[in-house]
Amino acid sequence: MSSATEVMRPEEVPQPKQYGKPGGFLRHTNIITGTVSGIVLAAIAYLVAGALRPPPSDENALALPVGLDPQFAAMYIGWTIGLLLGIGAFDGPLRWFLGHDLTHEDAEYMAGAGQGKWRYFKYTTDHKVVGKQYLVMSLVLLGVGGTLAMMIRTELGITWMEVFNPNVYNSIIGTHGMVMVIAMIIVVSGPIGNFIVPIMIGARDMAFPRLNALSFWLLFAAVPPLVSSLFLGGIRDGWSVYQPLNSQAPVGMLGYQTTIIVFAFSTGIASVNLITTIVTMRARGMTWSRVPIFVYGIIGSSVMGLIWFPMFQYSQILSWSDRVLQSNFFNPAQGGSVWLYENLFWLLGHPEVYVIVIPGTAALMELTTVFVRKPLFSYKLAIAGIFGVVGISGIVWAHHMYMTGFAPSANYPFMLSTELISIPFGFLVLVLLGTIWRGKVWTRLPMMAVYAVVWNKVVGGITGVWLSDVPVDQYMHGSMFVVAHFHFMLMGAALFSAIAAIAYWFPKMTGRYLNERIGSIGFWVAFAGFQLCFGSMFFAGLQGMPRRVLQFDNAFNLSNWLSTIGAYTIGIGTVIFLYAIITSWRGGQTAPMNPWAAQTLEWTVPNPVPLENFKVLPVVTTDPYNYGVPDPYASQVADVGDETSQKVSVS
């Protein structure tokens, strides 16, 4: 690796006129002003919508709760816009409209320069700050979703006793599902994608820094409406909320719809930003054959999110319109079609599995080369696997509709396409196994997670092939067997991959080592609990136990008791791992620049990472997996602090 020509210094670049202090309006905005502004505008919107609402007549007085829909819809819109106003998201466009272009000092203030820890609570454009914001948000969402899961398992672990009434229980299930889906979508792509990818490709920042900040604060705005729905009647129809049940649900359904609509904007903006950054801002010499495999995983996930998430968004926009504007997109009595909803929903619903799994799998491939000290086994096969999944993911959605009566003649073609996607996905598992084969493994926490994830993927993958077969699905549909299968994929593969990725990049993101003793205890406790919880569900499903049922026959007692014990064990393990993260972040052992002696570019910058990542943009001369190959640049002296330096081997 050699250096490029020095760039022109900021003070040498002609600057526009500075209006006021650097940062302008953003100096007065933060999470507090955003939250207050959101609440105030939500209240105003609710009251205005109520004042404009015509008084109910005698004949429609019984429909008064439905009549509240416009008010709550206005409230959620007001909350979202108010939060963005109060956090300063519209400051950039407004300054452009007024002709007040940003100066270098303005841009540095927006990036959080000199603001210390307070920058994590503001509309900050530094991709490293955004990555940490995503990390905290994903941990919070996993905590909320996990708590709801404990409530579900508490109900199912107590035979013939109602801890919650059926409506509350169903609402907990629906909210748990959606919270966990959002958490798993962002848990790798959000923190690691934002913090690591720009440095990994040799860029100083993201292509669109202000849009990067916007993607996070849109996510932040999307969460309260979903949580509030629990207190407004809840999501009683599962996370898929099929029509016409969607339109007949309590007013809390509007919170769910608002969350999906806003979150889809967040993922779309983030996907465009990541793709543009990777395509246009790679370091000189980083050809597509030298791009780290994790970057390919982020591209694949972003492409799927960009194409398929709008389908889910459209389904909720049209559902929102049916409730608030009295349209009839999904009302069969007025010419609408419930099939339209199901197809729109599942056009995302299955690619979403791979949006979740692919980044974590790519992260595992990335770190496996480091801990095995071998080149990635068949780099091209890994790329083929990623984009094979991306391509085929768009033609498998209807296998979720085998039992609905939609297009029965299409069942077997979709069965074939669903089984076909297991081939490129299998490539990824084979690449992991091939990389490990006959390697000298450095057994650390990230590497232990690789073994766990491979096991979970094999179980989830095999049961997925079974469920893709029409005859098997006819028997298993709607059973706990299905619940066990998708948890092995979404949680067993994605969540444990996220644990590996966080443990691996933790020293770079925080400048400290993760406490591996505590982290490993939490990891293995959670893994053991996971096997007990969802392994027992397979047996309950084979016995015929349906999902989303409050009470059940005594024949399912043993399976449910074991699953509940396993669920609480998962909770204990994740709390232990969270404790390791918090204590290590606050006061863990200081990590050097390259603690793993890895070869990708993020390990060539000091801790903490400078504001602009690289003083001089790097030039890439080799691929990042040349372990065991003599390298004239193998030993470099890298500054890792004000007073210390370390000699780092990168071969």
| Predicted confidence (pLDDT) at residue 631 exceeds the cutoff of 80 | no
SS (H, E, C) 71-99: HHHHHHHHHHHHHHHHHCCCHHHHHHHHC
pLDDT of residue 532: 97
| Contact residues for 531 (Cβ-Cβ < 8 A; gap 6+) | 566
Nearest CA among 320, 375, 282, 430 for reference residue 629: 375
In a domain, 327, yes or no: no
In a domain, 618, yes or no: no
| Predicted confidence (pLDDT) at residue 162 exceeds the cutoff of 60 | yes
| Mean pLDDT, residues 49-57 taken together | 75
Is the dihedral angle over the CA atoms 329, 330, 332, 336 positive or is it negative? positive
The pLDDT tens digits of the residues spanning 523-547 come to 999 999 999 999 999 999 999 999 9
pLDDT of residue 447: 96
pLDDT of residue 14: 75
| Predicted confidence (pLDDT) at residue 7 exceeds the cutoff of 60 | no
Nearest CA among 7, 26, 270, 29 for reference residue 131: 270
Phi and psi angles of residue 637, each rounded to the nearest 5 degrees, phi first: -95, 120
Cα Dmax for the chain: 87
Which of 378-387, 551-560, 616-625 has the highest mean predicted lDDT (pLDDT)? Answer: 378-387
More confident residue, 163 or 3: 163
pLDDT of residue 10: 54
| Contact residues for 46 (Cβ-Cβ < 8 A; gap 6+) | 71, 72, 74, 75, 78
In a domain, 457, yes or no: yes
Tell me the whole-structure pTM to 2 decimals.
0.92
Confidence of residue 63 (pLDDT cuts 50, 70, 90): very low
The pLDDT tens digits of the residues spanning 291-333 come to 999 999 999 999 999 999 999 999 999 999 999 988 889 988 8
| Predicted confidence (pLDDT) at residue 595 exceeds the cutoff of 90 | yes
Q: How many residues does the chain have?
A: 651
Is the dihedral angle over the CA atoms 492, 498, 501, 507 positive or is it negative? negative
Confidence of residue 8 (pLDDT cuts 50, 70, 90): low
CA dihedral 215, 220, 222, 227 (to 10 degrees): 160
In percent, the amount of the chain with pLDDT more than 90 equals 74
- Which residue pairs, CB below 8 angstroms and at least 24 apart, start in 150-158? 150/567, 150/568, 150/571, 152/176, 153/533, 153/563, 153/564, 153/567, 153/568, 154/564, 155/550, 156/552, 156/560, 156/563, 156/564, 157/560, 157/561, 157/563, 157/564, 157/565
pLDDT of residue 56: 59
The pLDDT tens digits of the residues spanning 255-265 come to 999 999 999 99
Measured CA to CA, the distance from residue 321 to residue 427 in angstroms comes to 43
In a domain, 499, yes or no: yes
Amino acid present at 118: W
Confidence of residue 98 (pLDDT cuts 50, 70, 90): confident
Q: How many domains does the chain have?
A: 1
pLDDT of residue 636: 37
| Predicted confidence (pLDDT) at residue 630 exceeds the cutoff of 90 | no
In a domain, 449, yes or no: yes
Which of 107-111, 160-164, 449-453, 548-552 has the highest mean predicted lDDT (pLDDT)? Answer: 449-453
Domain coverage including residue 479: 367-377+395-589
More confident residue, 424 or 649: 424
Task: Provide the CATH number for the domain around residue 472.
Answer: 1.20.210.10
| Beta strand spans in 185-302 (E) | none
* Helices vs. strands in the chain: H and E counts, helices first: 23, 4
The pLDDT tens digits of the residues spanning 442-475 come to 999 999 999 999 999 999 999 999 999 999 988 8
| Predicted confidence (pLDDT) at residue 613 exceeds the cutoff of 80 | yes
The pLDDT tens digits of the residues spanning 353-393 come to 999 999 999 999 999 999 999 999 999 999 999 999 999 99
Residue 74, both tokens? 């206005």
pLDDT of residue 393: 93
Confidence of residue 592 (pLDDT cuts 50, 70, 90): very high
pLDDT of residue 1: 41
| Predicted confidence (pLDDT) at residue 640 exceeds the cutoff of 60 | no
| Predicted confidence (pLDDT) at residue 648 exceeds the cutoff of 50 | no
In a domain, 468, yes or no: yes
More confident residue, 3 or 121: 121
pLDDT of residue 628: 72
pLDDT of residue 38: 97
Contact 650, 596 (CB under 8 A): no
| Predicted confidence (pLDDT) at residue 480 exceeds the cutoff of 70 | yes
pLDDT of residue 629: 65
Q: How many CB atoms lie within 10 A of CB 548?
A: 16
Lowest-pLDDT range of 300-314, 600-614, 627-641:
627-641
Element housing 343 (H / E):
helix 338-349
pLDDT of residue 2: 40
pLDDT of residue 626: 86
More confident residue, 497 or 237: 497
Q: How many CA atoms lie within 13 A of 399 on its CB side?
A: 28
In a domain, 179, yes or no: no
pLDDT of residue 266: 97
Lowest-pLDDT range of 29-43, 134-148, 334-348, 571-585:
334-348
Mean pLDDT of the chain: 89
| Mean pLDDT, residues 570-592 taken together | 95
Nearest CA among 348, 272, 263, 341 for reference residue 309: 348
In a domain, 60, yes or no: no
